[in-house]
Each structure stands twice: as structure tokens, then as C-alpha cells.
Structure 1
Amino acid sequence: MKHTPIAINTVASCARITRAGGRFGLMLLVTVFLGACSALPDKPLRADLFDFGPGHVSSQTAPRSPSAAPLALADISTHGGVLDNQAVLYRLAYANPQQLRPYAQARWSMPPAQLVRQRLRDTLSRSRPVLNAGEGPALNRGTNQSALPRVLQLELEEFSHLFEAPGSSVGLIRMRATLVESTPTGEKLLAQRNIAVSRPAPSADAVGGVKALTAATDAAIEEISTWLQQVP
């Protein structure tokens, strides 16, 4: 059994008290023990884990458009390293807009870039085949077996619960989407789009921030899907 320093010192003191004085010593022992228990540190709280929810749960798959060509989806990169962990971040725009702060008892189930990519793939897969970029030419070829599919690259720049005022906040996601085509001489830029979406938070806490960021992410993904359909 592993003891804390408080517990070890208490056991030693109790032994001395018991030897010193009979029934009175026993009563004093109980008092000391109860006081020591209240002094022991509380068990650390486990942070709550959040994701975007189950997503599309229907067992029926929507028919894909015949003109929707396969798409290769690259891993989503992040702006710096602040979004590479699982912290749920918030920003006080009215006090210090440059400072990102983590909620103490809230965590994403995986880094935000991975959550966004998973949600994006699930959504795009309803209308077209979506492949993983970089898994080899044989896996990433189009239906005609002659050309590689276009590659969608994303950079996640902002993903935070933004407080515009103490009682007013939104979930904000900002991304840069780049669509490229693989050619014998390298990648050819086809189109690029900056995406910034915010949705109001129902409460000024981590739960409200998570709900707002989920709604903002879904709206951003719908914008990406519409944009991909418009690129010739």
C-alpha cells in the first residue's frame, strides 16, 4: 500500500499516543485520525471528454452523384502547436484577445484537427468516394484507373470558444482549404478558399463552447462541400 507523507506521519503519531495513555489515549487517537483524514488531498477530478456526437446515424446511404469524382483527403494541419493537443480552448476577446486559455476540466476525445477531419470525411462520403491521401497510387486512382484524384488539403487556424463579452460567446472555426491536382511535374493548384464560421454558444462554459464549435464545424463542412461542387 502506498502512503502519502501525511498518512505516514499520522500513523507514527497515533502509535505514540496509544502507548502514552490508555482510554484517554484511544479517544485522542480517534480525534487525530479523523482530523488527518480531512487533511488528506481530495482525489483529482477526471476531465470530461467531448466530441462532435454520433453524426449521421441513418443506415440508409444517400445515392452518390455520378459526376462526383473520388477525392483524396489529406491530414489537416494546424497553425502552430496550440491545436495539437486535446484542450478545449477559449478566448476572452473583451479582455485579452491574443491569449488562448484551456478549460481546466474539459478535453476533446482527440485533437481538434482529427475530429474535424473525421467529421468532414463522414459528410463528404455521402456524396462521393473519399480516400486517404498518400496511401499509394493504386488506392488513390480515380474510377478510370488513369488519373489520381484531386487532393483536398486543410489548415485549421482557429478553433476556440470566443467570448465577445462576459455574457456573449460563440464557437469559432477558421480554416484554409486548398484543392490540388497531382501531375507528372508536381501538384497543380486548382482552387483555394478561406473559411470562417461562428455559431452562438448556449452557455458560457465548456459545454456551451463544445456545442457551439460542433455547430460551427458542421456549417464549415457544408460550405466546403458546396465549394467543391462548384470547382470545375
Structure 2
Amino acid sequence: MNLTLRRLVLATALGAAALLAGCSSTTKNSGNSTYDFGPAPAPAAAQAAPPMSVLVVTDVTGVAALDSERMFYRLAYSDPLRARSYANSRWASTPLSMVTQRIKSRLSQSGIKVLATTDAAAGMPILRMEIDDFTHTFDSATQSYGQLVLRASLFHGHKLIDQRVFNQKTSAATLDAAGGARALAESTDAAAAGMLAWLATLQLLKQ
């Protein structure tokens, strides 16, 4: 191997090493961000009477991917069938758990006594919920929204009283995990408000 070729090989090796070192440093210093829904919005000063006095609320169910702390996003404009996760951002708890707690909180704020299934007595109305979608979705390279699709079913005495699907989209203020987290929190609050309005229409369950 002549001198010129040796120098070229050495320079290439040193360049590759420097690049790997730079990537490693970037990964270590990028840090991880953890998000939740923040405090629940304060209830309105003047509230209507609660739609019912007592309600049993089961834990929200959904696909296995929502039973982890990963934050998912989707590029609907270029690759709509692929759900991706943010590398350095995560939820503080699973989306299933966070949505459960948020909706229970909003129901309690309205004046409903919220009970778990372990505390339920026979004859109490039961609310069951399932998430079909909970994603930060990009509909273009410059616009995105947080979407929650939640199906709620109300039972009374083992009888289905009514079922409603809440499909909430909230525009994200920023095109990143922080913007997606805020948008999904607002979509969850909107779904909870819609759920209260829906429950108020079911007059037969008022006690």
C-alpha cells in the first residue's frame, strides 16, 4: 500500500470514528421528556345539576400499544399506515391510565360520585370505555393535531342503555411531542365534556 493510499484509509477511519462519537454525544445530551395531561381545567362557576348521583366507571381499555408509555405519531400525508413513536419523549403513565383518571376527575367535578367496580353495588349504572385511536397525527408537513377516538357504553342492570363514539381532534400548537401532548390532553377534556352532555340526555338514570 503506497503512502497516499495509507493516508486516505487513515483519514477515512478517523472521520468515521469522529462521526460515531458525535452521534453518541448527541444521544447522551438530547435528554428525555416526560408528559402528562397537567391539572384538570377548573369547572365552570355555574354548573348544571349532575346527570346522575352515582356512576361506576371501569378502566378504559384499548389496543396493547396504548398500555405503554410510548408517545405515538402518524404521518398521514405520506405514510398513514405506520404508527411511529417519539424517540426521546414518553408519557408519564400509559394513555389508558391517563384517560381513565382524567375522565373520572371531570365526572367528579360535575358532582357525580364516581365508584370503581370493586366498590359497586348491584343496580348502579356502569360506564365502560374503549379507545380506538390516541395519536399525534400530521396531516401535512406543517400541520398536526391530537386525535382521541373513544367509544363509551352505559349499562344499567346488565342492559345497554346507550353507546356513543367521541371523536375529538385538537390542532397542535407546535410540531413536536410537546404540541402533541397538549393537543391530546385538550381532546381528552373535550371528550369528557361531551360525555357529560351525553349522560345528561339519559334522563331515566337520574336518581
TM-score class, shorter-chain normalisation, is 0.7 to 0.9
Match of 1:140 in 2: 120
1:223 paired residue number: 194
Task: Give 1:202's aligned amino acid.
Answer: A
Higher helix share: 2
- In the other structure, the counterpart of 2:9 is none
Q: Deviations over 1:194-214 (max 9, x none)?
A: 110101000111111111111
Tell me the residue number matched to 2:84.
Answer: 101
Indicate if the aligned counterparts of 1:65 and 1:128 stay in contact, CA closer than 8 A.
no
1:67-116 CA-partner distances (Å, limit 9, x unpaired): 622000001110x2121111111001011111110011110000001101
Percentage identity across paired residues of the two chains: 33
Compute the displacement of 1:149 (Å): 1.2
Matched letter for residue 131 of structure 1:
L
Residue 156 of structure 1 contacts residue 174 of structure 1 at CA under 8 Å; is this kept in 2? yes
Contact residue 57 and residue 128 of structure 2 kept, 8 A: yes
Asked if 1:211 corresponds to 2:182, the answer is yes
Q: How many residues align?
A: 181
Residue of structure 2 equivalent to 1:192:
163
CA 1:67–1:76: 2 relative to 1, 3 Å: closer
Superposed CA offset, 1:170-210 (max 9, x none): 1100011000113xxxx211100111010100011111111
Show the counterpart of 1:81: 64
Matched, 1:178 2:153: yes
Contact 1:64 1:128 (8 Å CA) reproduced: no
Find the counterpart in structure 2 of residue 69 from structure 1: 53
- Separation in 2 of the partners of 1:190 and 1:158? 24
Q: Does residue 1:202 correspond to 2:173, yes or no?
A: yes
Distance 1:83 1:208 in 2: 19
Matches within 5 A, 1:20-59: 41-42=24-25, 43=28, 45-56=30-41
TM-score, structure 1 as length reference: 0.71
What secondary structure is seen at the aligned counterpart in 2 of 1:97?
Answer: coil
* TM-score, normalising length: structure 2: 0.79
Instruction: Name stretches of at least 5 consecutive residues in structure 2 with no aligned partner.
Output: 1-16
Cα distance 1:216–1:49, how it changes in 2: closer, same or farther (>3 A)? same
- What is the DSSP-based 3-state SS (H/G/I as helix, E as strand, rest coil) of the residue aligned with 1:191? strand
Residue 153 of structure 1 aligns with an amino acid whose one-letter code is R
Larger radius of gyration: 1
Letter in structure 2 aligned against 1:140? A
